[in-house]
Structure 1
Amino acid sequence: MLRAEGLRPSHQLELDKELEEFLDMDDGDVGSLTEEDDSDEESSLPDAQSAEKTLIAIHKQFRDYGFVPRSVKKPRQKRYLQPNDIQRVISFIRGYAAEYAVVLPGRQANQKNFSGEVLSSSTTRAEVWRKYQETSKKYEPDARVLSLSSFRYIWKTFLPDIKCTKPMSDLCWQCQKNNYKVYRSNGLAEEEKRDTLNVQLEHLSLVKGERDLYNCMRRDCKEICTDQDLHLLNGPVPPASRDFKMHYSFDFAQQILYPHRHHQPGEIFFKTPRKCGIFGICCEGIPEQVNYLVDEGMTCGKGSNSVISYVHHFFCNYGLGETDVDLHCDNCCGQNKNKFVLWYCAWRTIHKLHHQLGLHFLIVGHTKFAPDCYFGQFKKIFHKSDAHNLADIAAMVNNSSKPNIAQLVGTEDGRVMVHCYDWQKFLQPYFRPLEHIKQYQHFRFDANKPGIVFAKKRHNDEEEVKFQLLRDVNVLPPKHGFPTLQPAGLDRERQAYLYKHIREYCEDYAKDTTCPKPPPSPPSRPTKSKTPARL
């Protein structure tokens, strides 16, 4: 026990007795010793709590280790980042980017800065850090090597323009070729270097001009919708009944597969569920986008017939009745940039469904625009939810964001809701193709000049190429009577595959719609047995 000098034996016995009682107490009883009387108004709660913690710590020390001095661990001192360490990391990342990165071509998801640089999608920040660690130990053994977390923090804070591109990011091939020539121009003459750099600058200037034109049309469209108090695509509205100009954009999204679960079973990745295509038409002024959901059995392909049919259905059922319109789309020749789409635009102005119609194509490789934004909002919800039939997908589209609207082209049982017409067969007898259509980016049609298309290669070209699309100006195409294309539906082999391999992944309420039982196969005809020829 504790021995105190100068105490009488009786007092020493009392001290030993009190100490034994103190060591036998629990932590809760020890904490109660610090409670003050309620009548004491000068006591403070933080001081009482601190005294309680101190007394409990002393009790635990005496109980576990006896009467020995307490050893207090000193907190570990942090090694703060020094300016020289930060500068070394910045210099290494910049040097690595100068060797392996490409200049951002001005069109990258979630990136508005044109001066950025992107590394290959196979490169990660951890991989760059390992090379930094290896290089530092080899050439600067006395220098401090920062950890991966500090390396990432410095990269994110001081070099936000240098990024590792995502696998989904499709860069412009023309930009990549020009950048490669610029990087490898060290041994060239000054004139050749200047010419190589001017080619890339001219390309980027063209891209920026086209993007500015698109953004300008969007702003004007929003101002018109605000002035006209337009907030919804609540058609149908009679065509050319409102004297203003509107802007629309349309594009296909990547198809999705269903049934889909947010925790997808591994086995289904080796199988082919039912497919659903998506075609979106966006009115940036409101803004709202109509998403056409095309079931696998309702599709008529992704050619011009489908594109024109969905655009025609949009104008008839969701259009705002504008007199003038501008349309933006990507440069896909098989879907948008072809003679049949031009013929359809001319057909609309001939029958004064629009008085002025402009068709504009974005530069190849720089085609990110409004429909991709709303596709992304839907895909974000889709990957986190379950969908077992078209009704579930349509509900996801409507709930993904306020501007998204779902429009079924047809149901799983074959009921057609949006008809697809054979516009190629309907327009072919009355129009002729425009030569060298791929070299033009902007087309204009006027109702006062029926059948004539005005084409420009660039947005800032003053001169327009004028071409008459009608074979005979006195013979105009009719306003109605389009031949209807019936969807082929699912063949029996595909139905049998869905029933056998995919049906088990559907919920009970969707099994008979998404993966119904295929019809019985027709009986095979008996083959006649050949009798051997007589000798």
Structure 2
Amino acid sequence: MTLTVVDIATCRANFEALSTQEKGQWILNWFQSHSSFSEDGHFDTKFLVGSVTVCLTSWLAVLGISKSTFYNIRKKFQRGVIEVGSSGPLKGKMSCESLCAVAWLREFSANYAEKLPNEIKLNLPPCLTKKYVYELYLEQASNPVSKSHFYKLWKRELPFVTIPKRSRFSKCDKCTLIKEHLSTCRDKSQREKLIKMREKHLRQQNEERKKYYKHISKAKNNPEKYLSIIVDAMDQNKTYLPHFLYNGKYLSNMWKLRLNLMGVIIHGIGIYGFFDFFQWSHGSNLTISILIHCLLMLETLPDTLYLQMDNCPGQNKNRFILGFLCWLVEIGIFKKIKISFLMVGHTHEDIDQVFSRFSSLLSRRSVLTLPKLMTSFEKCYTPTPTGIRTDKVFNVSEALNLENISGHSKPHVFKIIKENSKATIYWKKWSTDPIWQKCDGNLLKDPNLTFQTIRPSLEDLDFEKLEKDVRGSFSYFKKEEDKQWWEAFFAEDTADYESEDEEIFPRLWVKKRKEPLANNEEEDLDISDTEDAIPPVIIGKRKSIKDNNSILPGSMALMDVPKYAGEWPQIGKVVSVDGTCNTFNIHWYAGSKSSSWKACRRAVQGGKGRREDWVESVSINYFIMSFSLTPSGNIPRNVKEVIDSYHD
């Protein structure tokens, strides 16, 4: 007989009219009524469309049944099942095994992932792979799900947890090297060594992070004993003004005001954002001034300060920050200060979560003025942050009378306490190391410190171009108040600003808690990476650099000028040397350790857009070494080694 279109349509319509469970039961009933056992013990099933016998493929195509459904129900028939029952779990409902897998992945992410400052994501260390994460899960799960299902759960339930292939943020060298070696290594024993190295590395970074959150918990539970602060800066590309939600050709190419946001969390007290438009050099002076502002905001100061920072040598990990903290201990504001730095490439923490929410908010709205930018910051997160416009920066780097210090770039933890009336520095490579190493000598020579404010400068800002472009964008401004703010900003004049001395010590001392408290310090767990020893931190005269130390006109010079403490390395070309050899004139150069160096020019004050070579007189005391650039304008390797070891 011939199969007609009517027969096909009728069979398909009757089958589609059934529910999912009824379809399964109909297929099971078909096996029971149209199957028979053959002589070899197997059963044969007859497939009909209407009254016409067809093959299995045609039967499935006519009824719209998938092969997986067909074979699953056939297995039930072979086991003697006579009723299909429920069609499976309700949509959106997960099995107990799936729930346990998701819970495990959440906990794993909480321990090892970093919060990104520019988007709502958690990044696992780049040395990991999904396969390796699943293998870790198998080791701990009593009833694990399959690999494919684990990947599906990851994609569906935790899409914000990723393993980045590349990142524009700082990378962990060890993670990168391990991943590269694993991708090319085929030797089984070598791969096992690399995997063990990765496990140890991940445990260490997890312990460092746990230590940070332990400090937070102590500060929240015992605010009368402990104070925990984290300081970090946000990506500057997100905070240009005016910020438009939709950019045309003119708005995309216009000159905008670059702003800096320095975020601070005082755990258990509040979240603060300090805004400035680069009126001051972004070095240790800015960081110290923000710390002073935060301490002055508090009603009382406990005996112990926990300070968390990233590894940036220009702003945080330098002798001026350590010297200021020594000053706080030596004058009695704190009895102990512990400064911690997370692993390079693993430094994104709770403050970056605030930055992420702020960045997300800016991606959805236009913000045209600084007051509205600060208001947006205060609306981006819960608990509500506080926006503060930085109005003064103290010249602490020049006021501090310090010894030289070297080797301080390698340790991740410093402790400062008072011994024999002097602030003494102890250090450890990791927070889990069992023994504190003591620095011989004292970094702070003289505790008498004058806090003189630095005059704000707009020399690096092309004010004329900014004003021209912003005024050209006024047609896109909807509110007159935004235009008025910019008019007032352009009229601001810093020429009449006068530096002044401030009495910081008395204002901090009155906040000092007077009654003594019991000391309940806990022992540190020793699981640290002791294999990779680091050189000691040395206070005092640095070993002489065996190089060409003569200052000759035309040669390049590496220097360490305190007022430019935020810039490192400091390099320029010697223009001339004065007769007494106490100073020399330098033409500053700009570049980095990995790029070429070029001569700097700066705006002429009051010169209406004119620029000149940036030449300055520098004391010979700030000179480190002389050298020559490579033919391509880069720093020679031996100078890079000096820069890394100096690290001020």
TM range, normalised to the smaller chain? 0.5 to 0.7
Report the counterpart of residue 262 of structure 2 in structure 1: 279
Which aligned pairs between 1:265-304 and structure 2 lie closer than 5 A? 265-286=248-269, 288-296=270-278, 298=279, 300-304=280-284
With structure 1 as the length reference, what TM-score do the two structures score? 0.60
**Structure 1 residues 378 and 318, CA, compared in 2 at 3 Å: closer, same or farther?**
farther
Count, aligned residues: 366
- 1:422 aligned to 395, 415, 418, which one? 395
Secondary structure at 2:388 match in 1: strand
- 1:306 aligned to 266, 286, 292, which one? 286
- 1-structure distance, mates of 2:418, 2:207: 28
- 2-structure distance, mates of 1:266, 1:466: 59
Structure with greater strand share of residues? 2
Matched, 1:462 2:461: no
Asked if structure 1 preserves the Cα contact closer than 8 Å seen for 2:423 and 2:442, the reply is yes
Consecutive unaligned residues of structure 2, counting only runs of 5 or more, are: 1-61, 72-107, 116-120, 132-150, 494-604, 610-648
- 2-structure distance, mates of 1:447, 1:364: 29
- 1:395 aligned to 375, 380, 389, which one? 375
Which aligned pairs between 1:108-127 and structure 2 lie closer than 5 A? 108-109=114-115, 110-111=121-122, 117=129
Report the counterpart of residue 476 of structure 1 in structure 2: 446
Which aligned pairs between 1:88-487 and structure 2 lie closer than 5 A? 106-109=112-115, 110-111=121-122, 117=129, 156-157=155-156, 163=162, 165=164, 170=169, 171-186=171-186, 188=187, 190=189, 192-225=190-223, 243-255=224-236, 256-286=239-269, 288-296=270-278, 298=279, 300-318=280-298, 320-401=300-381, 402-409=383-390, 417=391, 419-427=392-400, 429=401, 431-448=402-419, 450-468=422-440, 470=442, 476-479=446-449, 481-487=450-456
Counterpart amino acid of residue 486 in structure 1: R
Report the counterpart of residue 500 of structure 1 in structure 2: 468
**Which of structures 1 and 2 has the bigger CA Rg?**
1
Asked if structure 2 preserves the Cα contact closer than 8 Å seen for 1:322 and 1:354, the reply is yes
- 2-structure distance, mates of 1:84, 1:477: 84
Instruction: Give the superposition deviation at 1:249.
Output: 0.5
Asked if structure 2 preserves the Cα contact closer than 8 Å seen for 1:259 and 1:505, the reply is no
Cα RMSD of the aligned pairs, angstroms, is 3.8
- 2-structure distance, mates of 1:276, 1:159: 34
- 1-structure distance, mates of 2:251, 2:368: 14
Instruction: Give the superposition deviation at 1:113.
Output: 7.2
Instruction: Give the superposition deviation at 1:349.
Output: 0.3
**Structure 1 residues 111 and 278, CA, compared in 2 at 3 Å: closer, same or farther?**
closer
**Structure 1 residues 77 and 426, CA, compared in 2 at 3 Å: closer, same or farther?**
farther
**Structure 1 residues 158 and 77, CA, compared in 2 at 3 Å: closer, same or farther?**
farther
Counterpart amino acid of residue 430 in structure 2: R
- 1-structure distance, mates of 2:70, 2:249: 49
Secondary structure at 1:293 match in 2: strand
Structure with greater helix share of residues? 1
- 2-structure distance, mates of 1:209, 1:79: 53
Instruction: Give the superposition deviation at 1:322.
Output: 1.9
* Cα deviations by residue, 1:300-359 (Å, 9 ceiling, x for unpaired): 122111111111111112465222110111111111111111101100001111111110
Instruction: Give the superposition deviation at 1:219.
Output: 2.1
* Cα deviations by residue, 1:63-119 (Å, 9 ceiling, x for unpaired): xxxxxxxxxxxxx9766694899xxxxxxxxxxxxxxxxx99933444487896379
Counterpart amino acid of residue 290 in structure 1: Y
Instruction: Give the superposition deviation at 1:377.
Output: 1.9
Report the counterpart of residue 10 of structure 1 in structure 2: none
Instruction: Give the superposition deviation at 1:390.
Output: 1.1
* Cα deviations by residue, 1:100-148 (Å, 9 ceiling, x for unpaired): xxx99933444487896379xxxxxxxxxxxxxxxxxxxxxxxxxxxxx
Secondary structure at 1:316 match in 2: helix
With structure 2 as the length reference, what TM-score do the two structures score? 0.51
Counterpart amino acid of residue 211 in structure 1: R
- 1-structure distance, mates of 2:158, 2:481: 52
Secondary structure at 1:403 match in 2: coil
Secondary structure at 1:451 match in 2: strand
- 2-structure distance, mates of 1:421, 1:84: 78
**Structure 1 residues 368 and 422, CA, compared in 2 at 3 Å: closer, same or farther?**
same
Report the counterpart of residue 35 of structure 1 in structure 2: none
- 2-structure distance, mates of 1:202, 1:164: 18
Asked if structure 2 preserves the Cα contact closer than 8 Å seen for 1:118 and 1:165, the reply is no
Report the counterpart of residue 457 of structure 2 in structure 1: 488
Asked if structure 1 preserves the Cα contact closer than 8 Å seen for 2:304 and 2:334, the reply is yes
Asked if structure 2 preserves the Cα contact closer than 8 Å seen for 1:281 and 1:291, the reply is yes
Asked if structure 1 preserves the Cα contact closer than 8 Å seen for 2:128 and 2:179, the reply is no
Counterpart amino acid of residue 389 in structure 2: L
- 2-structure distance, mates of 1:461, 1:327: 18
**Structure 1 residues 153 and 460, CA, compared in 2 at 3 Å: closer, same or farther?**
closer
* Cα deviations by residue, 1:368-425 (Å, 9 ceiling, x for unpaired): 111111112222222222222111111111222233110101xxxxxxx3x2111111
